[in-house]
Amino acid sequence: MKALIYHTFGGPEVLEYGDMPDPVIGSNEVLIRMKAIGLNFADVYRRKGNYHLEGKPPYILGYEGAGIVEQVGADIQNIQIGDRLAFADVPFANAELVAVPHDKAIPLPETISFEEASSVLLQGLTAHYLTKDSYAIKQNDIVLVHAAAGGVGQLLIQIAKLLGGKVFGLTSSQEKAVAAQEAGADAVFLYKDDWKSAVLNETNGKGVDVVYESVGSTLMDSFAATRIGGTVVFYGMAGGDPVSVDPRMLMDTSKTLTGGDLWNVLTSREERVARSGDLFRWMEEGKVQVAKPTTFALHEGQEAHRYLESRQSTGKILLIPANGETE
């Protein structure tokens, strides 16, 4: 099979398009011929050597994608050759063929394209647990979303709205503010402005019920914009490490700081199927819309990585293998 591989850590130039042996599946795995593959910043970090990698080079990046079942392990009864499947957390996805464990295989409805599935699963499942588990959004909750024009940010806005919330977004530019507004944000503020005062103004000095904090360095600002008894959900630090939080502040203000990580909730096939089922249903009903992705051929991996690192895109970037997405 063809795959996007690399032998040493470094910039996009270390990526090569070459031949690798086809995966040999176990009795509880399926072999999927990939149609679309999601590209994420975690792939950049792995390419640079920021994450520990098992085994020896050549390495294959990628964890998210969708395709068609080509082989089925002997112990699997409920998946057939020709089925459409997707996944959010299976390694070595930057290839024409991927071995997928049964518990990580997500059935893909005919109404959801391979591109849509590869665009939404990782970020959509993140937004799902953040709004259902980390803080369950209720009718009339006021929600503040950091990095509102990003992939998770746009989905957070849409899901928070369909759950009955009023949503404020934060972005770094007016262009990104437009993307957040198009996703459904009731108001969008810019980081360069006095956004804390703007949020407090919009809430009559009270503050929001919940902040979805993915920047890190803005953690204390998020607390300042949160009402007494409100919640800050910390799930990323794209803008730098947060400062330490004094628990006495939490006691004095009755505020809650909670963390979130997707892998703590995706603990079984049942969880994956149920949560992705919510996402797919919302998409079918038009309640959640996924921006059209930017696509590159799998052999254009270097260009795709450069584009991702340029931060020019507001939607998902996909890699398409030869004979890939045709829907």
Q: What six digits make up the tokens of 23?
A: 């995966």
Region 6-15: what's the mean pLDDT?
Answer: 95
Statement to judge: residues 220 and 277 lie in one domain: no
Statement to judge: residues 106 and 11 lie in one domain: yes
Statement to judge: residues 172 and 215 lie in one domain: yes
Residue 130 falls inside a structural domain? no
Phi then psi for 147, rounded to 5 degrees?
45, 50
Task: Inform me whether the pLDDT recorded for 31 exceeds 60.
Answer: yes
Percent of the chain having pLDDT more than 90?
87
- Dmax (CA) for the chain in angstroms is 62
CATH for 38: 3.90.180.10
Statement to judge: residues 256 and 270 lie in one domain: no
Strand partners, 210: 143, 231
Task: Inform me whether the pLDDT recorded for 326 exceeds 70.
Answer: no
CATH for 225: 3.40.50.720
Q: What is the mean pLDDT of the chain?
A: 94
Write the DSSP string, 32-89. Answer: EEEEEEEE-HHHHHHHHT-S---S-SSEE---EEEEEEEEE-TT--S--TT-EEEESS
Taking Cα atoms as reference points, which of 224, 256, 218, 254 lies closest to residue 237? Answer: 218
Out of 27-31, 40-44, 89-93, 221-225, pick the least confident: 40-44
Statement to judge: residues 78 and 145 lie in one domain: no
Region 177-204: what's the mean pLDDT?
Answer: 96
**Confidence bin at 324 (pLDDT 50/70/90):** low
Out of 56-60, 218-222, 233-237, 309-313, pick the least confident: 309-313
Q: What six digits make up the tokens of 271?
A: 């969880």
Question: How many domains does the chain contain in total?
Answer: 2
Statement to judge: residues 228 and 288 lie in one domain: no
Q: What is the DSSP letter of 24?
A: -
Residue 210 falls inside a structural domain? yes
Write the DSSP string, 204-246. Answer: TTS-EEEEEE-SSTTHHHHHHTEEEEEEEEE---TT-PPPPPP
Residue 169 falls inside a structural domain? yes
Residue 235 falls inside a structural domain? yes
User: d(Cα 279, Cα 287) in Å, to the nearest integer?
Assistant: 9
Task: Inform me whether the pLDDT recorded for 311 exceeds 90.
Answer: no
Residue with tokens 């089922």: 277
Statement to judge: residues 150 and 55 lie in one domain: no
Task: Provide the domain limits for residue 275.
Answer: 2-121+266-320
Per-residue pLDDT tens digits for 252-266: 999 999 998 898 999
- Given CA atoms 101, 102, 104, 109 in this order, what sign does their dihedral have? positive
State residue 226's pLDDT score: 98
Q: What six digits make up the tokens of 288?
A: 């959640």
Per-residue pLDDT tens digits for 259-306: 988 989 999 999 999 999 999 999 999 999 998 899 999 999 999 999
Statement to judge: residues 68 and 102 lie in one domain: yes
Per-residue pLDDT tens digits for 118-174: 999 999 999 999 999 999 999 999 999 999 998 899 999 999 999 999 999 999 999
Q: What six digits make up the tokens of 283?
A: 């998409």
Residue 126 falls inside a structural domain? no
Statement to judge: residues 313 and 236 lie in one domain: no
State residue 115's pLDDT score: 96
Residue 108 falls inside a structural domain? yes
Region 30-56: what's the mean pLDDT?
Answer: 90
Statement to judge: residues 115 and 149 lie in one domain: no
Task: Inform me whether the pLDDT recorded for 41 exceeds 90.
Answer: no
Residue 301 sits at the vertex; the CA angle it makes with 314 and 323, to the nearest 5 degrees, is 100
Q: What is the DSSP letter of 321?
A: -
Q: Are 234 and 213 in contact (CB under 8 A)?
A: yes
Statement to judge: residues 177 and 228 lie in one domain: yes
Q: What six digits make up the tokens of 72?
A: 């089925």
Residue 85 falls inside a structural domain? yes
State residue 150's pLDDT score: 87
- Given CA atoms 46, 50, 52, 53 in this order, what sign does their dihedral have? positive
Residue 127 falls inside a structural domain? no
State residue 314's pLDDT score: 66
